[in-house]
Structure formats: structure tokens, C-alpha cells
């Protein structure tokens, strides 16, 4: 009797685990549906055919989930996402292309340089969405291989508790990072493995000029105890108090600041680096029309508004209301950016950097 | 009549054996071979001196970490196992239980706890002792690895201590040996084979660990973490392939050396399982030292775990310790499917690997089929390959159609490409953990009296019926141990599957890894605690299921169940 009971319990657990399929978290109803749907359109959209369709998306952050949920609400198309590092996505796409396996349909979020790289390798499908006409030229690829959705801005994550404790000057401009008290207290990622740090270097070189730029960088190197593997590490180190200032990149949001009382996000007053967060359609997708609908929707006023509100991001379109808690990029000094040049000189710049670090 | 029965059954086992052999060749051996070949011939570019210099530099780092970790964790694990299993002192039972905690280790979160306790502004080093030392680097990696691998060593050595025949110690004592002499000439030598295979597993686990160096290595990275950085950060698959080869070689070398030179025979041949046998007449000072070491170790383990739980339930781990449920609700309201996927993966992998592993052990040991040695080697090989490399092996092998062979036969056939399906992670885990079942099967069969089976034949049963009615019930314990072990391992495994996941089949560990990277450490800790708690509850249920008959018996004999 007991034996039977127990085996049926085991069976139940098994069945429950095998068949359980939790419904996806209910999409946020904060953004009004009926109004939202007037703000986007797509000639590729076919509500009946696409209902219940599922797209696969690669990206570098889990924070895209609420955006994808609202897209599903608007269109009935489900988007499953998988979060990886930039390089891993590139590797995967190459692998899948070579194998003729189509896993990802879309790629959303990441560094512009990886998208440029992928486009050159023929891993993306060009599509010029009509919605992108209003975007600035440096926010989109001329052949439509990728479109910028929001801006990633370089900033500093500062541990204010430690600044106070040590009586240091709150850093405002790049030279403030060189103050004596910050020796071994500045955290920066390795530019060879992190887009954030690489962008900082190219930006500094572009604004200060080659010679002065390298002089500055050499002094900066002196302040950094070790270079972390990933761009997100410095932020974590500063939050934990292992460093006082971390060179970071974010959407222009103040999320870390809101979450931690002892943290402040600073946008350097004498200019900072930036790059677009693109979206692209992966070559070989079996669901091209639905993928086009996603791009149309994302770049539309509707999509951009959702991105601004859900990701707290400074978005690519200028005709969107800026929600509270996001920097207004008009107030920030942006370094001029030449992503293509940055991508082309990568090897020589990294070699020069490595030479100075090893010195 | 009897003759016919035997021929039939022999062909039954032959067919099963052939099937298993093909599966093993295919899913366990081929991927390893693929990694080696794709490393040597990657992208049509040979291996340059520069690549080798790079790989050697990181290999040196790996060995600087792994060698001391292997010695320290094995020695400490042995001390803890001996103390807890063979010495009697107050609190012994509790410590035994606590030392098992790392079995359900919430992954990656431990390193964070370490930073917050012993970091530059850590609770203990800075707030309590006023020190400002950076935990990042070699010392941090070694400490973390010793902590988690000592527990592994403790579990492995414990099982062998139970198999040491106490009558041998008794004999030595009767012949007048001192207890120190008994320890060094009887007890330890009896345990030596098991200690050496424990050391091998610790070595392999330390070599393969990429998460710890990544999180607290600072500018000191090992071959495994460099491999991960090469792929994810530097987009350099070629360099990664060369690094992979250099990571694989020492692991294979250690595996082969152990297999053919060190691991020659088990001394623990008796059927006696000596549970709770005290090692008598231990000199008091020695006993005190051993007890203190063990208590310190379990203390640190408890500290680490307690601190993770604190992190999961406080506002800002490391800064603001006011109580909150926000991280837990955050973890629970996030997509729960990765958790369900993890449980499903662990269940199926544990079930299949336990059944196949123990069954294969039976066929290999009892039937002595052709090529038994080779099949055993191929089935055990994945244990020696760092998870991340085994995963890459699957990537390069199964991106071709028809389960990999289509590369040459049907290059254009789309169907049956395993890559990109949600089933590939099941295959990779089963292939990787099959050897656990094999090993437990061997260990049990060594103690099983073949006369039981002979008696069954003499009574007229054929081999198949004998297997199912006599042998199988006897093999149950091996199946149960394997199931429990593989279940808990699969719940927290990431390396082997990290490059094979697809958007619709994410697992919980990967979510924790992402949270840590995104500095959502509170949520990461909460998810880690949740994952551990889930494993713990499920393991408890399985344990009860597997042992309920004995438990009932015990209760009955105590009179509390009537």
C-alpha cells in the first residue's frame, strides 16, 4: 500500500516536472495597448498568420525581456531570448551559418563593432525599415544590416561612501581619475576582451590626439590594479567596495544608483564615449517576415518608447518623450565616434596598449 | 531447453552491448576526438609559436593553482573524512551533515560571499580586523577551490573509509602496533587507491573550473577561464582551440597515468561495510588537532553558506543588512521556466545515466564481452575532459547533419542536426555523467557474490531472467547513489552546456551566471539559494523513496511505527 503510494508520488513529481510549462510572466500593462498600436505599422505584418509564431533572439542582457513581452502583446508573436557575451554571439552565428542551422532569427543589443564585424562576414540580412528614416546616419548601417535602437554611454560608477571616507575629490572630468588617492582604486576592463574599455581608449585617442592621448592612458594604467575580463566587472567591484571608481557603460540609466545608496553614476563633464545598441536580422532565418515585423516595431515610435521606459535607455529616435531617470543626451558631452575606424585599427591600438601595460 | 535459453539470452546481452558501445563511441568518444582534431587543424591555420607561448603561460597559471589545490583539498578532505567517520566526539553527526552542504552548492555565489567576507572592504578582514587586502588573484582562487573541492574529497574518501576492514586494524593492534603505526601502515595504505582517485578528480575539477578565476582571479587567469574569455570576449576561436588542447593534455595525462599506473587494485575487498567503527586508542593531542581542523573547515563552510542566505534576504549584500524579500520575489517572478528546465534536465540525465551506467558495468564485468577495456575507457574519458571543452566537442561534432556523420555522407541534409535542438544538452550531460554509474556499478559488483546468480541458473532460469529477477534488485543501491549524485551535479552544471543552450531551453545556472555579471547580486544569491533548496528537497524526496523500506524497518524495530 505504502509502496504504491510512494511510487505514485514519484510518478507525479516526474510527470509534473516533465509537462509543467509555466505561463510566461504576464506582460506589463503599464503601457496602454490600444494607444500603443497606433504608433507602429509594418507592411510585413499578418496578424492571423503570425499569431503564436515564435522567434529566437540573441542578446547581451536579460533586460530585453519586458520589451519582448510587450511586442508579443502588440503582435501575438512570441520572442524567446538567450543572453550571452558579444563574442559568444558572433561565434555562434558563424557556427550556425556554417552548419546551415538556423537557431537565432534576431540579434538585439550588444556592441556596434560586433554587428559591423558580423555584417562583413555575411551573417546578417540587410533590411531597411521605413521606420528608420528619422534616425541619424551614425545610428544605422547604410545597407540596413543593423539599426541602432538606443545609446550605450561610457560613464563612471563611483562609490561615494569611500570617496567621503578617504576625503577624495568627487571625479568630474577624466583628469580627476589620476588623483593620488585613486591609485589602485580605479577599475577598468581589459580592452582586448571588453568593448567598453576599447571604446574608452579610442575615444580618448580621438579627442586628445594620438600623442596626448597615450600620455593620458599611460597615467590611467598606473591607477588600475588589474584589468578585468568583462566590461561589467568594474561596476561590481565598485559596488563591493573593491574599487572606488569603475569605468562602465550603460544605457544612460541610473539603475545602479537607485539600487545602491553608496553608488553614484557620473558622466564625465569633458566628454564621454558612446555607441549604438543595434538590432539585426540574422541571415538564414526561416521567419524573415516576422523578423522584419520585429525590426519595424522596435524602431517605430511605439517600440522606442517601450525601450526608453523598460530599459531606461536613451533611445535612437529624437521624437520620444524622455522618461524620468534617464540622462538627457543633450546635456552630455559626447565624443565624436567613428566605429568603423575603431573596428579597423583594433589590432594596432590593442598592441600599443598591451606594450604600455606591460611596461 | 536450457541450452536454447542461454543462447537466446547471450544474444540479448550482445545486442544491448553493441547498442551501448555504438552510443558511447558516438556521444562520449567522438566529441573528445573532435576537439583534439579541430584544435590541431583549426581554421586551416597551423599552431604558431606565439599561440603556444600564450597557452603555456596560462597552463603555468593553471598548474600553479591546481597542484597546491589538489594536495590541500585531498589532504584536508581525507582528514575531515577520517575524523568524522572514525573518531567519536560531541557534535560528530551534525558536522557530518554540514560537511555535505557543498553537494548542493549554489554555483558562483560562493565567490561573491568570499569577496564580501574577506575582500578589501570585507566584513571580516576590513570591518572586524581593519585590514585592506585585495582578495583578487591567486590566493583567492586557491582558497575558493580548496573550500569547495575539500568537500568533494571528503565525500569520496568517506565512502572508501567505510570499506576499510577494521579487523585488519584489530589484528595489527593485537600484534602490538601503536596506533600511529596502525594509521600509517594499515589504515592509510588501505585507503590509498581511493585517495589517489580522489586526487585525480580534484585535479580535473580544479583544471576545468573557469567560474572562480573569472569572478575573483583579477589579472590572474587560468587556462580554463582564458579559454572562456578567448571565445566570449576576444572572438578568437583559433586561440581558444589551441588553449583547449593545452588544457586537455594534462587532464588526459593525469587520467591515463592514474588509470594504468596508480589505480592498480583495491584492497578493500571484503564485503564488510564498516559504518561507525571508531578508530581506537588515538593519542589525545592528535585527536584534538584533527577535530579542530575538521571543526574549522565545517565552520568556514557554514559561514559561507550562511552568508549566501543572508545575501539573499538583505537589501544590499555587503552594505545594507536590513531584511527584505525583494530578491526572492524578484527571482520567483522572473521567468520560472529555466528552473523547470533545470529540474527536468537533472531528472532525465540522472535517470538515464544511472540505468545505462550500472547496466553497462554489469555487462562489462560479468559477461566480459569483446573490447570491454576499450568501451570502459571511452565511457570514462569524458570525466577527464573539462566540461567547457566537452561542450565545444559537441558543438563541432554535431553541427553536421545526421548526428555528425553527415559531414561526409549527406552534407546538405538539414534534418537530424543535433546542434540547435533542445535535446543536445541531454545527450552531452548523459555522456558526461555515465561514468559515475559505471563506477558505482563496478564498486557494487565487486562485493556481489556471483554464486547468487549461479544458484539462479542451477534452478533453471536463463540469463535474462536471472538478471532482471536476481541481479537487478541487488544492483539497486548503485543505481540510487548514481541517481542522487548525478541529479545534484546536473542541477548546477554549466561548462558543458553553456555553448549549446538555445533560447527556449535556458537553465537556472545560466541565469545565475548572468545575474552575477549584471551585478544583481541580491537576486543571484536568492536564485542560488532557491536552486539549492530545490535540489535539497528533491534529493530528500528521492532519498526517502529509495530507502523507505529500510526506514520503515528501522522505525518498526524502534516501536514507533505500528
pLDDT score of B263: 58
- Candidates A21, A101, A291, partner chain B, best to mutate (most B CBs within 10 A): A101
State how far residue B266 is from chain A, nearest Cα, in angstroms: 36
pLDDT score of A30: 47
Domains B1-40+344-505 and B43-315 share a fold: yes
Is A18 part of a structural domain of the chain? Answer: no
Confidence band for B120, pLDDT divided at 50, 70 and 90:
confident
B540 in reach of chain A (CB within 8 A): no
- Measured between CA atoms, the residue of chain A closest to residue B544 is A6
- B503/A81 touch (CB, cutoff 8 Å), yes or no: yes
Residue B321 has φ and ψ, to the nearest 5°, of -95, 30
A contacts of B402 (beta carbons < 8 Å): none
ipTM value: 0.77
Which H or E run includes B281?
none
State how far residue B102 is from chain A, nearest Cα, in angstroms: 24
A contacts of B549 (beta carbons < 8 Å): 3
- Measured between CA atoms, the residue of chain A closest to residue B505 is A82
* CA dihedral angle for residue B274, residue B280, residue B282, residue B287, rounded to 10 degrees: 60
CA end-to-end span of chain A: 76
Same domain membership, residue A350 and residue A248: yes
- Measured between CA atoms, the residue of chain A closest to residue B126 is A241
pTM attached to this predicted model: 0.83
B120 in reach of chain A (CB within 8 A): yes
B188 in reach of chain A (CB within 8 A): no
pLDDT over 70 at B5, yes or no: no
| CA dist., res. B71 & res. B52, Å (int) | 28
| CA dist., res. B440 & res. B307, Å (int) | 34
- Measured between CA atoms, the residue of chain B closest to residue A25 is B335
- B417/A90 touch (CB, cutoff 8 Å), yes or no: no
- B115/A225 touch (CB, cutoff 8 Å), yes or no: no
Strand bridging mode B320-323 / B314-316: antiparallel
pLDDT score of B63: 94
- B218/A13 touch (CB, cutoff 8 Å), yes or no: no
Residues A262 and A159: beta-carbon distance below 8 Å: yes
| CA dist., res. A109 & res. A59, Å (int) | 5
Average pLDDT over residues B79-108: 79
pLDDT over 50 at A23, yes or no: no
- pLDDT digit string (tens) for B422-455? 788 999 999 999 998 988 888 888 777 777 777 8
Mean residue pLDDT of chain A comes to 82
pLDDT over 60 at B412, yes or no: no
- B318/A241 touch (CB, cutoff 8 Å), yes or no: yes
Same domain membership, residue A284 and residue A183: no
pLDDT score of A25: 41
- pLDDT digit string (tens) for A203-244? 888 878 888 999 999 999 999 988 887 788 888 888 888 899
- A82/B420 touch (CB, cutoff 8 Å), yes or no: no
Q: What percent of chain A has pLDDT over 70?
A: 89
Which of B396 and A11 is assigned the larger pLDDT? Answer: B396
CB-nearest partner of B235 from A14, A65, A87: A87
- Measured between CA atoms, the residue of chain A closest to residue B418 is A101
B340 in reach of chain A (CB within 8 A): yes
A contacts of B544 (beta carbons < 8 Å): 6
pLDDT score of A28: 45
A contacts of B511 (beta carbons < 8 Å): 62
CA end-to-end span of chain B: 48
pLDDT over 50 at B505, yes or no: yes
pLDDT over 60 at B9, yes or no: no
Which H or E run includes B501?
none
pLDDT score of A2: 54
- Max mean pLDDT range (B20-34, B63-77, B298-312): B63-77
Residues B319 and B519: beta-carbon distance below 8 Å: no
pLDDT score of B2: 44
pLDDT score of B430: 94
B contacts of A96 (beta carbons < 8 Å): 399, 419-420
**Half-sphere exposure for B96 (CA within 13 Å, toward CB):** 16
Average pLDDT over residues A269-281: 88
Same domain membership, residue A341 and residue A321: no
State how far residue A133 is from chain B, nearest Cα, in angstroms: 31
pLDDT over 50 at A21, yes or no: no
Is A62 part of a structural domain of the chain? Answer: yes
| CA dist., res. B411 & res. B461, Å (int) | 49
The three three-digit cell numbers of residue B170, written as one number: 584489530
- Check the CA dihedral B373-B375-B378-B379 and report its sign: negative
B contacts of A85 (beta carbons < 8 Å): 232-233
Same domain membership, residue A163 and residue A146: no
Same domain membership, residue A254 and residue A166: yes
Same domain membership, residue A199 and residue A179: yes
pLDDT over 60 at A73, yes or no: yes
- A232/B545 touch (CB, cutoff 8 Å), yes or no: no
Give residue A308's domain range: 53-150+276-326
CB-nearest partner of A193 from B233, B320, B417: B233
Tell the burial category of A200 from Cβ atoms under 10 Å away from its Cβ (0-12, 13-18, 19+): buried
A contacts of B417 (beta carbons < 8 Å): 99-101
- Measured between CA atoms, the residue of chain B closest to residue A242 is B120
Same domain membership, residue A159 and residue A81: no
3-state DSSP assignment of residue A159? strand
- Measured between CA atoms, the residue of chain B closest to residue A96 is B399
pLDDT score of B309: 87
Domain B43-315: give its CATH code.
Answer: 1.10.3720.10
- A194/B233 touch (CB, cutoff 8 Å), yes or no: yes
Residue B175 has φ and ψ, to the nearest 5°, of -85, 0
Residues B158 and B240: beta-carbon distance below 8 Å: no
Same domain membership, residue A230 and residue A110: no
- B136/A226 touch (CB, cutoff 8 Å), yes or no: yes
- A56/B503 touch (CB, cutoff 8 Å), yes or no: yes
| Pairs across A and B, CB distance < 8 A | 167
- A17/B347 touch (CB, cutoff 8 Å), yes or no: yes
The three three-digit cell numbers of residue B453, written as one number: 546468480
Give one word for B43, left, alpha or beta, with left for phi > 0 and alpha for psi -120 to 50.
Answer: left
Average pLDDT over residues A37-55: 84
**CATH T-level topology, domain B1-40+344-505:** MetI-like fold (1.10.3720)
CB-nearest partner of A260 from B229, B319, B542: B319
- A81/B225 touch (CB, cutoff 8 Å), yes or no: no
pLDDT score of B562: 43
Residues B32 and B393: beta-carbon distance below 8 Å: yes
Nearest CA among A350, A62, A254, A100 for reference residue B419: A100
**Half-sphere exposure for B435 (CA within 13 Å, toward CB):** 17
pLDDT over 80 at A118, yes or no: yes
Q: How many domains does chain A have?
A: 2
CB-nearest partner of B119 from A24, A94, A240: A240
pLDDT score of B106: 67
Same domain membership, residue A201 and residue A128: no
CB-nearest partner of A260 from B316, B340, B503: B316
Task: Give the lowest-confidence range in A207-216, A243-252, B229-238, B477-486.
Answer: B229-238
Same domain membership, residue A304 and residue A201: no
B contacts of A259 (beta carbons < 8 Å): 316
Same domain membership, residue A195 and residue A343: yes
CATH number of the domain at A264, please: 3.40.190.10
- A18/B347 touch (CB, cutoff 8 Å), yes or no: yes
Going from N- to C-terminal start, the domains of chain B cover 1-40+344-505, 43-315
pLDDT over 70 at A188, yes or no: yes
- Candidates B210, B219, B220, B233, partner chain A, best to mutate (most A CBs within 10 A): B233
- Max mean pLDDT range (A26-30, A78-82, B542-546): A78-82
Residues in B 399-438 with any Cβ partner in A closer than 8 A: 399-401, 412, 414, 417, 419-420
CB-nearest partner of B233 from A21, A85, A96: A85
pLDDT score of B76: 93
Same domain membership, residue A230 and residue A341: yes
- B237/A91 touch (CB, cutoff 8 Å), yes or no: yes
Confidence band for B270, pLDDT divided at 50, 70 and 90:
very low
3-state DSSP assignment of residue A326? strand
CB-nearest partner of A82 from B419, B502, B549: B502
What residues have CB less than 8 Å from B201, skipping those under 6 apart?
Answer: B152, B156, B383
Residues B157 and B84: beta-carbon distance below 8 Å: no
Q: What percent of chain B has pLDDT over 90?
A: 12
Q: What is the DSSP string of B73-102?
A: HHHHHHHHHHHHHH---TTHHHHHHHTTGG
Average pLDDT over residues B9-20: 81
State how far residue A240 is from chain B, nearest Cα, in angstroms: 7
What residues have CB less than 8 Å from B363, skipping those under 6 apart?
Answer: B13, B16, B17, B20, B369
- Candidates A242, A250, A254, A264, partner chain B, best to mutate (most B CBs within 10 A): A242
State how far residue B125 is from chain A, nearest Cα, in angstroms: 12
- Candidates B349, B499, B517, B538, partner chain A, best to mutate (most A CBs within 10 A): B517
The neighbouring-strand residues paired with A83 are A59
Amino acid at each position: 500500500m505504502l509502496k504504491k503510494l510512494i511510487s505514485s508520488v514519484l510518478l507525479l513529481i516526474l510527470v509534473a516536472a516533465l509537462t509543467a510549462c509555466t505561463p510566461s510572466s504576464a506582460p506589463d500593462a503599464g503601457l496602454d495597448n490600444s494607444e500603443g498600436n497606433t504608433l507602429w505599422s509594418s507592411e510585413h505584418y499578418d496578424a492571423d498568420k503570425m499569431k503564436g509564431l515564435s522567434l529566437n533572439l540573441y542578446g547581451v542582457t536579460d533586460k530585453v525581456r519586458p520589451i519582448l513581452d510587450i511586442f508579443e502583446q502588440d503582435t501575438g508573436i512570441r520572442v524567446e531570448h538567450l543572453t550571452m557575451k558579444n563574442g559568444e554571439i558572433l561565434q555562434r552565428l558563424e557556427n550556425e551559418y556554417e552548419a546551415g542551422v538556423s537557431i537565432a532569427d534576431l540579434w538585439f543589443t550588444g556592441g556596434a563593432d560586433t554587428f559591423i564585424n558580423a555584417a562583413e562576414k555575411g551573417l546578417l540580412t540587410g533590411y531597411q525599415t521605413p521606420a528608420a528614416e528619422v534616425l541619424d546616419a551614425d545610428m544605422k548601417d547604410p545597407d540596413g544590416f543593423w539599426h541602432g535602437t538606443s545609446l550605450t554611454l561610457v560613464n563612471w560608477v563611483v562609490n561615494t561612501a569611500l570617496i567621503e571616507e578617504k576625503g577624495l575629490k568627487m571625479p568630474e572630468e577624466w583628469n580627476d581619475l589620476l588623483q593620488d588617492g585613486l591609485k589602485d582604486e580605479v577599475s577598468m576592463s581589459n580592452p582586448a576582451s571588453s568593448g567598453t574599455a576599447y571604446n574608452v581608449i579610442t575615444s580618448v585617442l580621438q579627442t586628445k590626439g594620438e600623442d596626448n592621448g597615450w600620455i593620458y592612458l599611460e597615467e590611467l594604467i598606473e591607477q588600475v590594479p588589474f584589468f578585468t575580463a568583462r566590461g561589467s566587472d568594474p561596476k561590481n567591484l565598485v559596488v563591493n567596495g573593491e574599487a572606488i571608481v569603475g569605468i562602465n557603460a550603460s544605457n544612460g540609466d541610473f539603475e545602479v544608483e537607485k539600487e545602491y545608496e553608496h553608488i553614484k553614476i557620473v558622466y564625465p563633464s569633458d566628454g564621454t564615449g558612446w555607441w549604438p545598441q543595434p538590432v539585426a536580422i540574422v541571415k538564414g532565418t526561416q521567419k524573415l517576415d516576422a523578423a522584419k515585423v520585429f525590426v519595424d516595431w522596435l524602431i517605430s515610435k511605439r517600440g522606442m518608447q517601450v525601450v526608453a521606459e523598460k530599459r531606461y535607455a536613451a533611445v535612437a529616435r529624437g521624437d520620444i518623450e524622455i522618461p524620468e531617470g534617464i540622462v538627457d543626451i543633450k546635456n552630455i558631452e559626447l565624443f565624436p565616434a567613428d566605429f568603423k575606424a575603431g573596428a579597423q585599427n583594433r589590432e594596432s591600438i590593442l598592441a600599443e596598449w598591451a606594450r604600455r601595460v606591460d611596461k | 531447453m536450457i541450452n536454447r535459453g542461454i543462447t537466446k539470452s547471450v544474444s540479448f546481452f550482445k545486442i544491448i552491448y553493441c547498442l551501448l558501445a555504438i552510443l558511447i563511441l558516438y556521444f562520449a568518444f567522438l566529441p573528445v576526438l573532435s576537439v583534439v582534431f579541430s584544435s590541431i587543424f583549426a581554421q586551416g591555420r597551423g599552431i604558431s609559436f606565439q599561440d603556444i607561448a600564450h597557452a603555456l603561460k596560462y597552463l603555468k597559471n593553471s598548474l600553479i593553482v591546481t597542484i597546491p589545490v589538489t594536495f590541500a583539498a585531498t589532504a584536508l578532505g581525507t582528514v575531515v573524512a577520517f575524523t568524522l567517520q572514525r573518531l567519536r566526539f560531541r557534535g560528530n553527526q551534525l558536522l557530518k551533515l554540514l560537511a555535505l552542504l557543498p553537494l548542493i552548492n549554489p554555483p558562483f555565489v560562493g565567490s561573491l560571499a568570499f569577496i564580501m567576507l574577506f575582500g578589501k572592504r570585507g566584513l571580516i578582514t576590513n570591518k572586524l580586523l581593519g585590514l585592506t587586502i585585495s582578495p583578487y588573484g591567486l590566493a583567492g582562487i586557491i582558497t575558493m577551490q580548496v573550500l569547495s573541492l575539500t568537500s568533494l574529497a571528503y565525500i569520496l574518501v568517506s565512502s572508501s573509509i567505510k570499506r576499510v576492514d577494521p579487523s585488519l586494524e584489530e589484528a595489527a593492534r593485537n600484534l602490538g602496533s601503536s596506533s600511529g603505526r596502525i594509521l600509517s601502515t594499515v589504515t592509510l595504505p588501505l585507503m590509498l587507491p581511493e585517495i589517489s582517485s580522489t586526487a585525480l578528480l580534484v585535479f580535473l575539477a580544479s583544471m576545468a573550473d573557469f567560474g572562480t578565476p573569472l569572478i575573483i582571479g583579477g589579472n590572474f587567469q587560468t587556462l580554463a577561464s582564458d579559454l572562456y574569455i578567448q571565445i566570449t570576449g576576444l572572438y578568437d576561436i583559433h586561440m581558444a582551440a589551441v588553449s583547449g588542447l593545452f588544457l586537455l593534455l594534462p587532464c588526459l595525462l593525469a587520467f591515463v597515468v592514474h588509470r594504468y599506473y596508480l589505480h592498480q587494485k583495491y584492497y578493500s575487498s571484503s564485503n564488510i561495510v564498516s559504518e561507525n567503527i571508531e578508530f581506537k586508542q588515538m593519542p589525545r593531542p592528535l585527536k584534538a588537532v584533527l577535530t579542530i581542523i575538521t571543526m574549522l573547515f565545517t565552520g568556514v563552510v557554514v559561514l559561507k553558506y550562511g552568508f549566501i542566505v543572508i545575501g539573499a534576504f538583505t537589501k544590499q549584500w555587503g552594505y545594507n543588512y536590513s531584511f527584505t524579500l525583494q530578491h526572492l520575489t524578484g527571482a520567483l517572478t522572473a521567468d520560472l521556466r529555466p528552473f523547470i528546465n533545470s529540474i527536468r534536465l537533472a531528472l532525465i540525465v540522472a535517470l538515464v545515466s544511472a540505468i545505462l551506467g550500472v547496466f553497462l558495468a554489469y555487462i562489462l564485468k560479468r559477461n566480459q564481452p569483446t573490447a570491454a577495456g576499450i568501451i570502459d575507457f571511452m565511457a570514462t574519458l569524458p570525466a577527464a575532459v573539462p566540461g567547457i571543452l566537452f561542450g565545444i566537442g559537441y558543438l563541432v561534432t554535431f553541427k553536421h547533419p545526421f548526428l555528425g556523420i553527415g559531414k561526409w555522407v549527406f552534407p546538405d541534409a538539414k534534418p537530424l542536426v543535433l546542434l540547435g535542438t533542445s535535446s543536445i544538452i541531454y545527450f552531452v550531460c548523459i555522456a558526461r555523467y555515465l561514468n559515475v554509474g559505471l563506477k558505482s556499478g563496478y564498486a557494487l559488483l565487486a562485493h556481489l557474490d556471483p554464486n547468487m546468480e549461479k544458484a539462479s541458473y542451477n534452478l533453471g532460469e536463463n540469463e535474462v531472467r536471472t538478471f532482471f529477477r536476481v541481479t537487478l534488485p541487488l544492483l539497486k543501491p548503485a543505481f540510487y547513489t548514481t541517481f542522487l549524485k548525478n541529479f545534484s551535479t546536473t542541477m548546477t552544471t554549466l561548462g558543458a552546456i553553456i555553448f549549446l543552450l538555445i533560447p527556449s531551453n535556458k537553465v537556472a545556472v545560466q541565469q545565475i551566471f548572468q545575474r552575477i555579471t549584471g551585478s544583481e547580486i541580491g537576486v543571484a544569491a536568492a536564485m542560488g539559494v532557491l536552486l539549492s533548496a530545490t535540489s535539497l528537497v528533491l534529493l530528500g524526496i528521492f532519498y526517502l523513496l529509495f530507502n523507505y523500506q529500510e526506514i520503515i524497518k528501522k522505525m518498526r524495530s524502534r516501536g514507533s511505527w505500528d
